[in-house]
Amino acid sequence: MPLDPKYLEILHKDVFSEEDYAALNTLAQLMRKRILEVVSKNGGHLSSTLGAVELIIAMHCVFDNPNDPFIFDVSHQAYAHKLLTGRWDSFETLRQSDGISGFTKPSESVQDYFIAGHSSTSISLGVGAAKAFNLKGSKQIPVALIGDGAMSAGLAYEALNELGDRKYPMVIILNDNEMSIAEPIGAISKYLSQIIAGKFVQGIKNKIGSAINKMPNATYIAKRFEESLKLITPGILFEELGLEYIGPIDGHNLKEIINTLKLAKNTQKPIVVHAQTLKGKGYTPAEGHLEQWHGVSPFDPVKGEALLKSNSKTPTSVFAESLLEFAKTDSNIVGITAAMPSGTGLDKLIKAYPKRFWDVAIAEQHATTQASSLAKEGLKPFVAIYSTFLQRAFDQLIHDVSIMKMPVKFAIDRAGIVGEDGETHQGAFDISYLNMIPNFTLFAPRDLATLSLAVEFAKDYSSGPCAFRYPRKEFLLQEGIFNKTPFKYGKLEILKECNTEILLLGYGNGVGRAHKCLLELEKQGINASLVDLRFAKPLDKEALNTLAKTHRKWFIFSDSAKIGGIGQILSAFAQENALQIHIISFEFEDAFISHGKIEKIEAKLGLDTQSLIAKITQYI
């Protein structure tokens, strides 16, 4: 059912009546119903976006979007924004192939200012926009909605530091859905902050500022009085950085939010509006600090239970179980994750050994650097992190880990295509950017059995940093098809060898893809050898040279970017050794991979078995 246009008309009013506020509250209920309806069917981010509904309605009431750009951080909070900007009906296609994105996306709507699938970028983007508006002489105001842990990353404070110095007009809405700042004095703080930011007190402050030289004693007294007020507000950090502060306010009270945002807009200064919200607001099972409702698979909204329950083990659970077993007997094993304890499986270890395993919040750089000093002190640090998020610590991988050959172990979850989260989350690049760093060892398991062996190898490897990758949902190769062989440093494994020119060479989950092709080729009477590369760095040079003598056509399977990927690594090796072979890579082309179900994405990329067989037979 489409959204009644009367609600959109109310958003553009200058003055709101009690009837208007009642209608806006009804709109909030309708939006929550629509979000729950679609997310329960498609999956997606739920609790955070339910909690931000009133904030987003108020933003649209007060500011002139897209003239005033809305910058969401992280933009999985922005579902309500999508519903208010012409996507009520198309919201049905959320996160589906060829449907709308689960994040803001400018190519989808002019009212989406920036793509934001990673955390803590909004204030920096807002500062850049504010500088541009200042140079143009424009009165536009950037509005950043930041929350869901995004303020725990250093990038946000780097931006705040400059903004507080340069004083560009900007409104930052801090969506505090963890109730973490000064709850006991919230009412007093809210009252005082509103007064401090109001026209009357602001006018007094400006007048006092102009009288500094004439009345030093009075200025001193006034300054001390204002500072004493700041000391009992939770905004002291922002005030000391040079920003105005209002809050905390009730992030579900539309009248209060709208009035506060109008006040913030009129200050024409950088200002933080601190709003306290409840995650999962409006859907009782998801309300509160329940991590399982942050990102969900399709579920029954009445029962609050997942529709597709699986008892099979995932790569993430096998990694966590293996590491936990080793941690029981090796007290030097420690672990770090960056705001993804359940996503990486480290929550089980944090619960079992809270002094040895830590969630450091959204701070991948900090996680990586501190792991280096842990390693220097003789411990065995595992950094459990998604492929897409490890990118954020690239400098630390080089400067703090690799130069000194610190034996940090990187367990790279969500490697390869992750599906509905789309281009910001696909784990395509870790092989490319890690392979170029000296002293790194790169390896990958092919199934659940060898994943536990990968954890064991990493545990005992002490000659430098190492990284192993594994997929989000499941390996393509079923456990037990091939023998469980321990990893040997820099050694590949021949899974099937025959007298043929054709070599199917897989890395990680690519082994399963190669094996599926092998079975199809055999049905056609075509023989091929199958190899698990196991190590991307260092390569098993001796074995590869031997294989090149009998196998002239190498087909490469790896869930990674083609540029800098396994195919190019092997091509460089072949060139250096003057090998007379033809290498064909079935890795990802030079383009970002959009969102959708993994199977549909693979078919689009030509990585389904039938498409691959058609390509292989063209070369043989």
Q: Catalogue the active-site residues.
A: 279, 364, 392
Degrees, nearest 5: CA angle 48-144-237: 95
Can you say whether the dihedral through the CA atoms of 592, 617, 476, 435 is positive or negative? negative
Measured in whole angstroms, the distance separating CA 43 from the mean position of its chain's CA atoms is: 16
Instruction: With CA atoms as reference, report the closest residue to 571 among 583, 560, 558.
Output: 583
CB burial of residue 604 (10 Å; 0-12, 13-18, 19+): middle
CB burial of residue 97 (10 Å; 0-12, 13-18, 19+): middle
CB burial of residue 448 (10 Å; 0-12, 13-18, 19+): buried
Degrees, nearest 5: CA angle 252-255-260: 90
117 a known binding residue?
Answer: yes
177 a known binding residue?
Answer: yes
- Residue identified by tokens 């930052």 is 172
SS3 per-residue string spanning 282-333 = CCHHHCCCCHHHCEECCEECCCCEECCCCCCCCHHHHHHHHHHHHHHHCCCE
Q: Is 339 left (phi over 0), alpha (psi -120 to 50) or beta?
A: left
Task: Name the E strands within 346-465.
Answer: 357-359, 380-386, 409-413, 441-443
Instruction: With CA atoms as reference, report the closest residue to 343 among 310, 372, 369, 315.
Output: 315
* Residues 37, 86 contacting (CB under 8 angstroms): no
366 a known binding residue?
Answer: no
In sequence order, what are the beta bridge partners of 605?
Answer: none
Q: Which residues lie below 8 Å from residue 459, measured CB to CB, with a gap of 6+?
A: 326, 330, 333, 380, 409
Task: Calculate helix-pair angle for 254-267, 53-62, nearest 10 degrees.
Answer: 50
* Residues 570, 554 contacting (CB under 8 angstroms): yes
- C-alpha separations of 151 from 160, 172, 231, 362, 440 in Å: 10, 11, 21, 8, 31
| Token pair for 531 | 């190899």
150 a known binding residue?
Answer: yes
SS3 per-residue string spanning 71-95 = EEECHHHCHHHHHHCCCCCHHHHCC
343 a known binding residue?
Answer: no
- 3-class SS of residue 139: coil
- Cα distance between the two ends of the chain: 55
Q: How far apart are CA 371 and CA 412, in angstroms?
A: 15
Q: How far apart are CA 253 and CA 359, in angstroms?
A: 32
Measured in whole angstroms, the distance separating CA 145 from the mean position of its chain's CA atoms is: 16
364 a known binding residue?
Answer: yes
359 a known binding residue?
Answer: no
Helical H segments across 426-478, by residue range: 430-435, 448-460
Q: Please name the helix (run of DSSP H) or strand (run of DSSP E) that holds residue 417, with its range, or none.
A: none
Q: Please name the helix (run of DSSP H) or strand (run of DSSP E) that holds residue 612, with its range, or none.
A: helix 609-619
- 3-class SS of residue 498: coil
Binding-site entries for Mg(2+) = 148, 177
Binding-site entries for thiamine diphosphate = 76, 117-119, 149-150, 177, 283, 364
Binding-site entries = 76, 117-119, 148-150, 177, 283, 364
